[in-house]
Chains A and B, each alone.
Chain A
Amino acid sequence: MIATLFLLAFMQIKVPDAAQFVGAPQGTPLTGPQLERRTMEISSELRCPVCQGLAIGDSPSIMAANMKAQVRELLERGYTEAQILSYFEKSYGQFVLLKPKFQGVNALVWILPILALAAGFLLVVTKAKKLETAPVKAATAEEEPADDPYLARVREMVDKP
């Protein structure tokens, strides 16, 4: 890592860096199993741009592997999840975030199911109350006699005194 940086500096190569998009790291650098775990977690929130809906952690495509390596590197340098997601959002657009941001019209996708649950619960309680007090209809004959002529005849015979 240090050697690469040294070499790069020597050759005056400049590669675009997250710092230009989201500033300096705002968290602590990660190492070891925690680094791997966080890489996995954040990779599952970023969408592979050429796959059909897969996360970069699940995709075999080359760019997805590059993106995942970038996530790991940024975590090593101490970037926070919010910063990393923001960096990818700035280059790829909101499309790359698998978890919709709670912002603007996107908030609706989070709110609507909860509203539905609440509204539905009210409906269920109302309906249950209504059903408790509903008048009981006298047991009716199952089907009209015209349904089954034989049954009709049988009933007729049975009902005769």
Chain B
Amino acid sequence: MDDQTRISRFERFFVPHLDAAYNFARWLTRDERNAEDVVQEASLRAFKFIDSFHGDDGRAWLLGIVRNTYYTWLKRNKVAMLAVPFDEESFDSGELEASGDRCASPIDQLLQEKDAKRLVDAALERLPEEFREAVVLRELEGLSYKEIAAIAGIPLGTVMSRLARARKLLLQYLRQAQES
């Protein structure tokens, strides 16, 4: 494949999805500058491996690369300790089971508040990253569970349980924010 072809493939398959790539990186890194670094590096990788891209879905491929780049970047920058350590399997959701039993529906009220945007963003930022990435791909990119599974390299069932747990945590965070 000559460079001209690679460049035009890159323009066609990846450039249209830069917003998606940046949004994903921005939510993973929680920082603008780092997000741009990750996206630039991911794009270089995408360009390098563009010969091996045979699919139709440039977005999913690019998001997968962004994700891998992020985790490599995290290791290299040794900021892994800043990420919230989280033992997914031993995570006990029992205390949250009762959440639906409260009489008031705080989330409905939250939607009325003028700082709803800030509260929702803050809750999402607080999520452990493996949950955060699933929520961002699902709710902001509108991807199916199958697509998320492919991007994150995890089984479908894990996507389902991560999303379910993520949402319980989000409800918990939102309530805490409201009470304080």
Q: Do A and B come from one complex?
A: no
Residues of A within 8 A of B (CB): none
